[in-house]
Structure 1
Amino acid sequence: MKSKRVVIIGAGAAGVAAATRLLESGFENVLLLEAENRFGGRIHTIPFADNVIDLGAQWCHGEQGNAIYELTRGLDMLRPSEEIEGGFKCIRSNKEVVDDAVVEKLRSIILNLEPTHQDGLKDYEGSLGAYITDAFWRKLEALPDIDRVLAREFFENGKKKLSSMDGADNLFEVSGKGQHEYLDCEGDLHLYWKGKGFGSFLRLLMKANQDDPSDLGLLNEHIKYNARVEHIDWQSSKGDIRLRLWNGELILADHVICTVSLGVLKDIHQKLFTPTLPLAKCRAIDGLSLGTVDKFFLEFKQPFAPLNWAGFSFLWQEEDLAELRNSGNYWLESVFNFQTVSNQPRLLQGWILGPHARHMETLAEAEVLDALLWLFNKFLTFEVPTPVRFLRTRWYTNPNFRGSYSFRSVYTDELRTSSSDMATPILDERDGKPLLQFAGEATHPHFYSTAHGAVESGWREAQRLIAHYQEHNSHSQK
């Protein structure tokens, strides 16, 4: 174990979890190759405004059965997120603020339609969008006093929010029965990281000094940044795995754990691996889906007014939406809400998803900000000051990510593939040792799309290697 060369591709949550577990278990020759100039992957905490912000994973989703929550229990790292609980306003494109009582009735329908509450999805052969649409209008029949035009506007916004939870472009590409593969962890689903962001959890895994950014704890001397892997020959004539980096550097390994995002694998797996991956693995990469969800952060001199709003959602009236779609700002249709941010009183955070998010990423930052200010003026009755700072994420156009997080699509069902096909290692035919292993949120059977799923997948692959050598050592001692 001390001499075996283990290379982990990607220093995100899965890679850091795998590396730290291996190092703690006696492996010494462990190297993390990271294409970015930082660790974290889709966990990316940066200083901003009065504190920090998370450009990627933001909340700890749940408590019971959540590995991240279990590790931080008693360490005073997490708090409930006030901005998620109520106080959201729904505003129509004619500046009308919808009555709170009406919003509550409509929201109760949407909440009851969340996939985890729908036993009928277990054997449903259609998309989540088809199922939810039918169920929404049936349940609305019990509320004859609700205006149907308003209800449609609300539902269109609600579908965007549900799509963002899956990371899908729209609900009609999401598998209905596939929703029951995903498991929510019981407890608060929106725990935030006080003043240090999600990155503080990775530093906890690394046993790094939280107050010294240069300290990587267990991973000191084990991470190589700006190290994009161009090619992996996993059946070389000399018996070791040969990795070539973008700059021509050659690295030899006995084992490789690949934790890059599903989006990157979709882009480059056919040219990355020699020989090509087994058919079941290729089918899983093709069949599992990865969408785009991006964020906007606007910093103001003073807390955003009105102060008693936790956030606001945009409800487009039909004639205004038609006009928007014929304008250069058509992509604003997929900006579904803005909200306040815990521990950041001067910030507004917004959300956009799907193909419109991918288009937004190609625009100049100033153009994006101008469009968002136009959107505010379109919907709000009060004047919105010019922010002192603006930031948007670009997860899709970054070649090291190519999207946000994975989901199970109708196409996944058609190909009869699953995360288990993604997670299955490629073994050496001679002695059964793991050669190529795969980790990351997309490989987790129940917690895909989450940071805790990524962490568990990294531990899974580390444990696979640990178990292999424990068995090997026990046989050699007999």
Structure 2
Amino acid sequence: MKPSVVIALAAVLVAAQYASLADAYGPRVIIVGAGMSGISAGKRLWESGVRELLFLEATERVGGRMHKHNFGGLNVEIGANWVEGIGGERVNPILPIVNDTLKLRNFYSDFDSVVGNFYRENGGLYDKDYVQKRMDRADEVEDLGANLTKMMDPSGRDDISILAMQRLFNHQPNGPSTPVDMALDYYKFDYEFAEPPRVTSLQNTEPTPTNADFGEDSNFVADQRGFESIIHYIGSSYLSTNANGKISDRRVLLNKVVRQIAYNNRGVVVKTEDGSSYAADFVVVSTSLGVLQSDLIQFKPQLPFWKIFSIYRFDMAVYTKIFLKFPRRFWPVGDGKQFFVYASRRRGYYGMWQSFEREYPGVPVLLVTVTDDESRRIEQQPDDVTKAEAVAVLRKMFPDVDVPNATDIYVPRWWSNRFFKGSYSNWPIGVNRYEYDQLRAPVGRVYFTGEHTSERYNGYVHGAYLAGIDSADILINRIFKNEEYKVRGKYEDQAAEVNGQVAEAK
């Protein structure tokens, strides 16, 4: 008998066994991944009465892309770092946990002052008024793009890239081209979405739902307990924790790399790289979009074409925060000096810098952010080369200052890591709510969650948190109400709107 047939039969037998147990003890659910979405989904399932939960986490830790790293004796965030979306009428659900419950140290990010800190390629600051004028024009074009979005068909068929919108309103055939305009463009878009305007959807990012719903301010979390402590707090309501408040529950298995998910109409069997197999009634896959787009996990049978197609429609972006430590501080500090920009003719080349005078007082550390192709390039070269490149840029920015060599560097490699394959999802051109319905839709007893399944908040911490709840609710409806998830038709909203208009006219 072929090995594949043996595995399939085993899946049927073991899953059938648990299916029969479900009647007496409730369904057993495996959650693949112990990041924000997985832990959030587990909490929702637990609260609904689903108590047979098992987490299979590929890495040695809980937290996913919320990850603190000890850099020269200082815990820094190499993944998610900001509570984004503050100051609006609605409250970002992450903010009360940060401020009121855990009281994590966090600081307002003064992005408005960035226009006064644009450095020429060969040193010296650009005139602030000139940069502000260019920023005002970029903001004007962005507002025109947001107005254009309101006129577009909800199906997404009219969608264009942000770059196409810039061409339309800014009369720049190839988009921003001067060093200042390119740096501003990078700051406004790549620094947020981790991909350039030529690939990013206008319709689904202008305005950004996070800003529209929760506000335009952002707070930088700089607590030695780590931003990931939010996940441990959420999990602590139903999982055991240690004396430090970290999840240490026997139902959370670490270093369990899922390589195969076999499923049928009776149950699922999840096989890990160490040869272990785990049977359940359902599985919730909370891996990153990048992992779904890779060959790490094999589905048996293969996922249907509509599901595979939806997975590959979306982009997994790369956002790299490079930390550099120096023997002393040489950069300007004080009010309005938190962020500074290197306006290079090479777009995105060590452009966005951040100092930590308030966050980590007295610690001579700088953060420089790169994205997309620069991230991939840097991930593939030795850290000493990256350190030399970054210091060379600083010496160009500050030609009259004695810029010392960096004593240490840390370069996260999210793209190269097979358990992540990127930092977070980006919404590309031509994708709309219909494709998001497909992306989060279950296939039989296999369910999906993650920030990439959040229609309004993909790419954000609050998006991951809310996606876990939403995906759990889909499964809860299946378990307790026997309701199948329905992917709405691509033009369903339009038809409802037209019918409503006709009824009103009558």
Instruction: Provide TM-score, normalisation by structure 1.
Output: 0.83
Which position in structure 2 is the counterpart of 1:267?
A: 294
Distance, in Å, in 2 between the alignment partners of 1:16 and 1:439 is 11
CA displacement at 1:52 relative to structure 2:
2.3
Aligned residue in 1 for 2:264? 235
1:43 maps to 2:80: no
Task: Identify the residue that residue 141 of structure 1 maps to in structure 2.
Answer: none
Q: Could you say what the CA RMSD is over the residues aligned between the two structures, in angstroms?
A: 3.0
What do the CA deviations read for 1:156-187 (whole angstroms, capped 9, x no partner)? 11222234245343211112223258512333
Q: Partners in 2 of 1:89 and 1:32 — Cα distance?
A: 46
Q: Does the Cα contact within 8 Å between 2:109 and 2:219 map onto a contact in 1?
A: no
SS of the residue 2:204 aligns to: helix
Pairwise CA distance, 1:13: 0.7
Q: Do the aligned partners of residues 83 and 176 (structure 1) sit closer, same or farther apart at CA in structure 2, a change above 3 Å counting?
A: closer
Q: Find the counterpart in structure 1 of residue 462 from structure 2.
A: 452
For 1:249, the equivalent position in structure 2 comes to 276
What SS is found at the alignment partner of 2:455?
Answer: coil
Residue 102 to residue 372, structure 1, CA distance change in 2 (3 Å): same
Query: How far apart in 2 are the matches of 1:223 and 1:449?
Result: 25
SS of aligned partner of 1:280: helix
Report the equivalent of 1:216.
246
Q: CA deviation at 1:350?
A: 0.6
Gaps of 5+ in 2: 1-21, 153-157, 483-506
Inter-CA distance 133–340: structure 2 relative to 1 (3 Å threshold): farther
CA 412–187 in structure 1, closer or farther in 2 if over 3 Å, else same: closer
After TM superposition, give the deviation of residue 466 of structure 1 in Å. 3.2
Distance 2:41 2:306 in 1: 24
Return the letter of the residue paired with 1:8: I
Q: Secondary structure at the match of 2:405?
A: coil
Local SS of the residue matching 1:410: coil
Q: Is the 8 A contact 1:14 1:441 kept in 2?
A: yes
Distance 2:185 2:149 in 1: 17
**CA–CA distance in 2 between the matches of 1:82 and 1:166?**
14
When residues 230 and 48 of structure 1 are mapped into structure 2, their CA distance, relative to the original with a 3 A threshold, is same
In structure 2, C-alpha distance between the alignment counterparts of 1:450 and 1:48, rounded to whole Å: 24
For residues 292 and 352 of structure 1, what CA distance do their matches in structure 2 show?
9
Give, as a single letter, the amino acid of the residue that structure 1 aligns with 2:418.
P
Task: Give the drift of 1:212.
Answer: 5.7
Q: For residues 405-424 of structure 1, what are the structure 2 equivalents within 5 Å? A: 405-410=424-429, 412=431, 418-424=435-441
From 198, 201, 205, give the equivalent of 1:179. Answer: 205
Q: 1:70: how far off?
A: 4.2
Q: Mapping of 1:367-446 within 5 angstroms?
A: 367-381=385-399, 382-410=401-429, 412=431, 418-427=435-444, 435-446=445-456
The answer to whether the 8 Å contact 2:415/2:421 transfers is yes
In structure 2, the CA distance between the partners of 1:386 and 1:170, relative to structure 1 (3 Å rule), is same
Q: Residue 476 of structure 1 corresponds to which residue in structure 2? A: none
Query: Residue 447 of structure 2 contacts residue 475 of structure 2 at CA under 8 Å; is this kept in 1?
Result: no
Q: CA deviation at 1:38?
A: 0.8
Q: Indicate how the Cα distance of structure 1 residues 23 and 128 shifts in structure 2: closer, same or farther if over 3 A, else same.
A: same
Match of 2:160 among 111, 123, 126: 126
Note the C-alpha offset of 1:314.
1.4
> 1:282 — aligned with what?
308
Residue 432 of structure 1 is matched in structure 2 by none
Q: Distance in 2 between matches of 1:190 and 1:289?
A: 24
Structure 1 unaligned regions, length at least 5: 139-149, 322-331, 428-434, 473-478
Against the structure 1 CA distance between its residues 383 and 83, is the aligned structure 2 distance closer, same or farther, given a 3 Å change threshold? farther
C-alpha distance in 1, partners of 2:318/2:79?
Answer: 11
Summarize the Cα distance change of 1:204–1:92 in structure 2 as closer, same or farther, 3 Å threshold: same
> Is the 1:80–1:192 contact (alpha carbons within 8 Å) kept by the matching residues of 2?
yes
In structure 2, do the counterparts of structure 1 residues 303 and 402 end up closer, same or farther at CA, with 3 Å as the change threshold?
same
Assess, with a 3 A threshold, how the Cα gap between structure 1 residues 216 and 116 changes in structure 2: closer, same or farther.
farther
Secondary structure of the residue aligned to 2:458 is: coil
Contact 1:6 1:255 survives alignment (8 Å): yes
Contact 2:190 / 2:371 at 8 angstroms: preserved in 1? yes
Alignment of 1:66-81 (within 5 A): 66-72=92-98, 74-75=100-101, 76-77=103-104, 79-81=106-108
Deviates more, 1:75-84 or 1:125-134: 75-84
Is 1:307 matched with 2:333? yes
Distance across 1 between alignment mates of 2:207 and 2:435: 10
- TM-superposed CA distance for 1:404, in Å, is 1.3
Tell me if structure 2 keeps the 8 A contact 1:230–1:246: yes
Q: Residue deviations 1:325-346, cap 9 Å, x none? A: xxxxxxx853222111351242
Q: Is residue 130 of structure 2 the alignment partner of residue 102 of structure 1?
A: yes
1:159 equivalent among 176, 185, 200: 185
After TM superposition, give the deviation of residue 188 of structure 1 in Å.
Answer: 5.2
Alignment partner of 2:198: what SS? helix
Aligned-pair identity (%): 23
Residue type at the aligned position of 1:344: Y
Matched AA of 2:323: F
